[in-house]
Amino acid sequence: MYITIYKKHIIMGLIVLIIIFSLPFGYLFASKSSKTNWGLSFSKNGEPPTGNATSEFLKQYNSYYIGNTNEKKVYLTFDAGYEAGYTPKILETLKKHNVKATFFVVSNFLKTSPDLVNQIIADGHIIGNHTMTHPNMSKMSTMEDFKKEIEPMEQLYKDITGQDMQKFYRPPQGVYSEANLKMANELGYKTIFWSLAYVDWYKNKQPSKEEAFNKLLPRLHNGAIILLHNTSKTNSEILDELITKIKEQGYEFSTLDELTKE
């Protein structure tokens, strides 16, 4: 009896394995791709990190988390959910160093700070779409729902600036799904993640200058897309020295236009 049951288990196991390996590879990971939090793994300081999706996978949806790792170029981006009083100083520093950045803005920033929005544009920076309400976009399972967070931002931006918003999109908190990447691409957007960031967004728990530099500078790498927040007091205070130190290491600041051009 024992031997008979054992043989049955073997046969059933083989059948299951045959079924599994006959399925399309992507199907096996469908549940995993339904919701993903963007994450990075750094194996060695100064070397590009590994994302939880490869550049090749992201590229099929015109999505990016890093630039050309053979070039000493970096890309500076800011997430701007609201204005905390530090953006003017950030813009002043960027102008001083002739560095162009991308600001991914939420509707609150557009509505409450139209003068700053126009100054960002006048200074030659890019403004990208960070959604209307900063929700968990992986819950947007239909194009109709996805558009509700994207298209009103385009209209609001045009009402304020008289210009069309450039088609750069960053998922709030880096939460996304493969379906989201596809939707954004179908709307003409390039999805931009990041390859270098640190915890700078807690208003009442701002890192010190030393903590910020210890997190950012050792992990600097070729092609880095740097994520900072405009709401950080620390960022406004260290940006001048940070840019100087990055340039001293031989890096050139480039733009998302350059990164994503065909």
Task: Identify the pLDDT of residue 27.
Answer: 30
Give the pTM. Answer: 0.87
User: Strand, helix or coil at 117?
Assistant: helix
Tell me the C-alpha distance between 242 and 262, whole Å. 30
The shares of helix, strand and coil residues in the chain, as percent rounded to the nearest 5, are: 45, 15, 35
Tell me the C-alpha distance between 73 and 197, whole Å. 16
Radius of gyration of the chain (CA): 22
Q: How many helices and strands, by DSSP H and E, does the chain display?
A: 12, 12
Task: Identify the pLDDT of residue 5.
Answer: 41
Token reading at 66: 């890093």
User: pLDDT tens digits for the chain (262 residues)?
Assistant: 333 444 444 444 444 343 333 333 333 333 334 679 999 999 999 999 999 999 999 999 999 999 999 999 999 999 999 999 999 999 999 999 999 999 999 999 999 999 999 999 999 999 999 999 999 999 999 999 999 999 999 999 999 999 999 999 999 999 999 999 999 999 999 999 999 999 999 999 999 999 999 999 999 999 999 999 999 999 999 999 999 999 999 999 999 999 999 6
Token reading at 154: 């385009």
Rounded to whole angstroms, what are the CA distances from 40 to 37, 86, 206, 218? Answer: 10, 28, 22, 15
Domains and CATH numbers, the chain: 55-260 (3.20.20.370)
Report the 10 Å Cβ neighbour count for 102. 24
Active site residues: 79, 229
Task: Identify the pLDDT of residue 79.
Answer: 98
The DSSP symbol for 66 reads B
Tell me the C-alpha distance between 260 and 179, whole Å. 21
E strand or H helix that includes residue 40: strand 40-41
Task: Identify the pLDDT of residue 199.
Answer: 97
Q: Of 125, 80, 87, give the one whose Cα is nearest residue 105.
A: 80
With beta carbons less than 8 A apart as the criterion, state whether 237 and 207 touch.
no
Strands 225-229 and 73-80: parallel
